[in-house]
Structure 1
Amino acid sequence: MMACIQFLLLFCSFMYIFNVNPSCAQIPNSPIRSLVLPVTKDPATFQFLTTIYHGTSREPIRVVLDLGCPSLWLDCSSGRLSSSRRLIPSCSIQCAAAKPNNMSCAFSAAMPTRKRTACGLSTENSIARSATRGELVEDILTVESVDGSKAGPVTTVDHFLFSCAPRFLLNRLARGAQGMLGLGKSRIALPSQLASKFGLQRKFATCLSSSDGLILFGHEPGYDSIFGTEISRSLMYTPLVTSPDGSGSSQDYSINVKSIKINGKRLSLRQKGIGGGTKISTTVPYTTLESSIYSTFIKAYKESATNNYFLNMTVVAPVAPFGLCFSSKEVPSSMLLGPMVPVIDLVLQSEMVKWRVHGRNAMVPVLDEVMCLGFLDGGSKSKTSSSIVIGGFQLEDNLLEFNLGTSMLGFSSSLLTRHTSCSDYHTRMMQSTLKDS
Structure 2
Amino acid sequence: MMACIQFVLLFLCSFIFIFKFNPSYAQISNLPVKSLVLLPVTKDPATFQYLTTIYHGTPQEPVKLVLDLGCPSLWVDCSSGHVSSSRRPIPSCSIQCSTANPSNMSCAFSAARPTCDLSAENSITGSATRGELVEDILTIRSVDGSKSGPATTVDHFLLSCAPKFLLNRLAKGAQGMLGLGKTRIALPSQLASKFGFQRKFATCLSSSSDGVVLFGNEAGYDSIFGTEISRSLVYTPLVTNPDGSGSSQEYSINVKSIKINGKRLPLSQEGIGEGTKISTTVPYTTLESSIYSTFIKAYTEAATNMTIVAPVSPFGLCFSSKENGSTLLGPMVPTVDLVLQSEMVKWRVHGRNAMVPVSDEVMCLGFLDGGVNSKTSIIIGGFQLEDNLLEFNLGTSMLGFSSSLLNRQTSCSMMLQSILKDSL
- Aligned 1:7-18 pairs, distance under 5 A: 8=11, 12=15, 15-18=18-21
Aligned residue for 1:256, secondary structure, equals: strand
The 4+ residue runs of structure 1 with deviation greater than 4 A are 5-11, 29-32
TM-score, normalised by the number of residues in structure 2: 0.94
Aligned residue for 1:104, secondary structure, equals: coil
- Aligned 1:282-301 pairs, distance under 5 A: 282-301=280-299
Query: 195, 218, 221: which one pairs with 1:220?
Result: 218
Asked if structure 1 preserves the Cα contact closer than 8 Å seen for 2:34 and 2:223, the reply is no
Give deviations 1:330-368, integer Å, cap 9, x for gaps: 11111x111100000000001111000000000011123
**In structure 1, distance between residues paired with 2:141 and 2:33:** 13
Q: Quick check: 319-328 or 422-431, which moved more?
A: 422-431
1:345 equivalent in structure 2: 337
Asked if structure 1 preserves the Cα contact closer than 8 Å seen for 2:91 and 2:97, the reply is yes
Give deviations 1:15-63, integer Å, cap 9, x for gaps: 04523443x3252476684211111101111000000000132211100
1:59 equivalent in structure 2: 61
The percentage of aligned residue pairs carrying the same residue is 76
Give deviations 1:49-90, integer Å, cap 9, x for gaps: 000000132211100000000000000112411111111121
1:141 equivalent in structure 2: 138
Q: Tell me by how many angstroms 1:196 deviates.
A: 0.3
Give deviations 1:346-403, integer Å, cap 9, x for gaps: 0000111100000000001112311100000000245xx2100000000000000000
**In structure 1, distance between residues paired with 2:298 and 2:81:** 51
- Aligned 1:9-408 pairs, distance under 5 A: 12=15, 15-22=18-25, 24-28=26-30, 33-105=35-107, 108=108, 111=110, 113-114=111-112, 117-211=114-208, 212-271=210-269, 274-306=272-304, 312-334=305-327, 336-382=328-374, 385-408=375-398
Give deviations 1:165-197, integer Å, cap 9, x for gaps: 000100000000000000000000000000001
Give the CA RMSD over aligned residues.
2.1
TM-score, normalised by the number of residues in structure 1: 0.91
Asked if structure 2 preserves the Cα contact closer than 8 Å seen for 1:87 and 1:136, the reply is yes
Q: Tell me by how many angstroms 1:227 deviates.
A: 0.5
Structure 1 pair 29/40, CA: closer, same or farther in 2 (3 Å)? Answer: closer
Asked if structure 1 preserves the Cα contact closer than 8 Å seen for 2:37 and 2:215, the reply is yes
Asked if structure 1 preserves the Cα contact closer than 8 Å seen for 2:31 and 2:195, the reply is no
Q: Tell me by how many angstroms 1:305 deviates.
A: 0.2
**In structure 2, distance between residues paired with 1:32 and 1:352:** 32
**In structure 1, distance between residues paired with 2:372 and 2:190:** 37
**In structure 1, distance between residues paired with 2:263 and 2:357:** 25
Aligned residue for 1:27, secondary structure, equals: coil
Q: Tell me by how many angstroms 1:429 deviates.
A: 1.1
1:419 equivalent in structure 2: 409
Unaligned runs of 5+ in 2: none
Residue 352 of structure 1 aligns with an amino acid whose one-letter code is: M
Unaligned runs of 5+ in 1: 307-311
**In structure 1, distance between residues paired with 2:382 and 2:137:** 30
Residue 386 of structure 1 aligns with an amino acid whose one-letter code is: T
**In structure 1, distance between residues paired with 2:36 and 2:272:** 36
Asked if structure 2 preserves the Cα contact closer than 8 Å seen for 1:283 and 1:392, the reply is yes
Asked if structure 1 preserves the Cα contact closer than 8 Å seen for 2:57 and 2:84, the reply is yes
Asked if structure 2 preserves the Cα contact closer than 8 Å seen for 1:37 and 1:143, the reply is yes
Structure 1 pair 236/31, CA: closer, same or farther in 2 (3 Å)? Answer: closer
Q: Quick check: 84-93 or 176-185, which moved more?
A: 84-93
Structure 1 pair 344/9, CA: closer, same or farther in 2 (3 Å)? Answer: farther
* Residues matched between the structures, number: 418
Structure 1 pair 96/90, CA: closer, same or farther in 2 (3 Å)? Answer: same
Q: Tell me by how many angstroms 1:100 deviates.
A: 1.8
